[in-house]
Structures are given as structure tokens and as C-alpha cells.
Amino acid sequence: MLKPIHAVSLAAALVAGAVSPAFAQGEVNVYSYRETKLIQPLFDAFTSDTGIKVNVISASSGLEQRIKTEGENSPADVLLTVDIGRLEEAVKAGISQPIVSPALDKVVPAQFRDPEGHWYAISMRARVVYASVDRVKQTAITYEELADPKWKGKICIRSGQHMYNNALIAAYIAKHGEAKAEEWLKGLKANLAQKPSGGDRETARDVAAGKCDLGIGNTYYWALMTQNPQQKPWADATKVILPTFAGGGTHVNVSGVVLAKHAPHKAQALKLIEWLAGEKAQHMYADVNFEYPLRAGIAVNPIIAGYGTLKPDALPLSKIADQKKAAAALVDKVGFDN
């Protein structure tokens, strides 16, 4: 039985489900960084399809260390997380094992999986611009252009150390080198309308309020705002522009999975991972979570499709992960969050 973490305990849920027919097909234990409301519908559908019960333990941090501390006795089968950095951290912590699945290799493009199979991406999100409908007339922009002095005092963004921005900065380093990335980051800082703060939704709120003309955020947040009566005015006042690197594509990050090194239910875990890359789950990622499906042939949600056609940058995510420490150091060096 999974032990409680932070304020989350599954004891009652496990007891309540102990007589469920789902146990006839086994169970799988998932440690998850993803919000429960976003991922539970997928697990419910998986159980309905396979009869395999999914036990979930959620936290905002510390899951890799927990699995490492539990060692061979860890009940964890799957680690589900967002951000390429966390996927790579799990591998470096020694808590993963290679996933051997021809089915996954067929579905997940090489740039979106670990070269040695230790993690696979399941869905994508892009780091984009929320632009003022009234004050920004252009419909295309590059990441490099965000440092152009013409945007001085017109950009809002959350902390440069947040994993979403860290990954974008790491991608910039991977493409242009540290020296040019530092120059770019200084230019971006000079263009900020205010100290980095809040989250992606707050950047849209501040653009709507006229505090800035451009905000940096993830694709799915804008779509979620359209579904929230209190936040819909922020979406109505902004438009999403899919930026690209000069000569490249749009920076994307992912949600992904790791198979735990000592997974006690390895067969069930593999079924879950493959199911998440299957057609039903990929449709749910698109329509419930407003993410980009990784599986070819799955339609993007109409709201997300309204941004335009996403052309992900070809840079392998593993190359971005290699630069994350350097990105964090640059944020501190230029005093980006000060």
C-alpha cells in the first residue's frame, strides 16, 4: 500500500477499492506531479478499459527523492511529470529503468523520448506569447525578437527560474550558446514592464489590464481561461502568437512518464504507459487538458488549433535538458528576477 505524502493519503481510497472487480486485473501505482483534476479522468478511463486499478499519490515536489529513499521497497511503478528537466532528473537520480516498447517507439518521435528509453513524452505544450488584441498588430514573432528594444517596458513574465521559463532559456542556450543567450536574457529583462511574478494566467491578466503588451505563457493556460468566467475577459483581451526561433520552430515542453526502477507491477505499468499514448488518451489530452497530442492523426482541440499550426522546434528535448543548469545560472547572473 502506498504511504501518505504531505497531506495526501490513499489509505481510505485503497480500502474502499479493495473489493473492486478492477483488482482482478491487478493495479499500478503512480507517483504524479500532475494536477489530479487534469489526470484523473485518464486513469478512470484506463481502469474502465483494462480493469487495472490506478493508485495515485500526488505532490508538487520531492517524488524522485522519495522513490530513491524507498529503494527496492518502493511501491512506485510510474512517475508522471511535466517538464523535460524533471524527466531527466529522475534518470540522473537512478530511479528509472528503460521502457522497452515497440508500440511507443512507433508513436513517440525520437526527439520526444530518451535515447536510451528511460522516459517518453506523452503530450506537448508550447511556450508562446499572449499579445494584446488592441495594442499589438503583428501576428508573428521570434523568441529572439523579445529582446528587441521596441518592446521596452511592454513584456510580462513569471519568474525566470520557473521550470517553464528555465526550459525556454535552456533551449536558447542550446541553439545559440551561452554568450548570446546571456545577451538575449539581458535584453528581455530590459523589456520587462514589471518584476517577474505570478503565473502564466496572471501575465494574461496584466496584458488585459494594460500593464504590458506581451505576456509569456503556455498554450493550454489560455485555453483554460476561456472556460473560466472570471478569467475569460483576460483571454478575450489577448491573442496567442506561436513564436519561433530564427530559422527554427516553436519551443515545446512535455508531460512524460518514467518507469520506476523497482516497479512491483511492471507489466501493468507498461500497459498504462502504452495506453496513455493510445488514441483514446491522446484525444483526452487534447480535449480535456488542451495539450498537443504526440500521436499522429489525433485532432488538436479547436481552441488550440485557433492559434495556428504548431511547428515544434527540431531540437531534441534531451539537448535542452543538458542546458537547464546553465539556464538557471544565467537567470541569477543577469538578476532577471530582481
The annotated binding site for Fe cation is made up of 220-221
CA distances from 258 to 21, 92, 207 (A): 27, 12, 37
| Cell of residue 136, nine digits | 499589438
The torsion of the CA quartet 245, 249, 253, 257, rounded to 10 degrees, works out to -150
Largest distance between two CA atoms of the chain: 64
Residue 12: Cβ-neighbour burial (10 angstroms; 0-12, 13-18, 19+): exposed
Which residue has 479493495 as its cell numbers?
A: 18
Numbered residues of the known binding site: 220-221
| Cell of residue 118, nine digits | 528511460
| Cell of residue 87, nine digits | 524527466
The sign of the CA dihedral 320, 322, 325, 329 is negative
CA 198, CA 156: separation in Å to the nearest integer? Answer: 10
Coil, strand or helix at 206: helix
Reading phi first (left if > 0) and then psi (alpha if -120 to 50, else beta), residue 83 is in left
CA distances from 271 to 25, 27, 121, 129 (A): 11, 11, 15, 37
Q: List the one residue out of 319, 305, 328, 2 whose CA is nearest residue 126.
A: 305
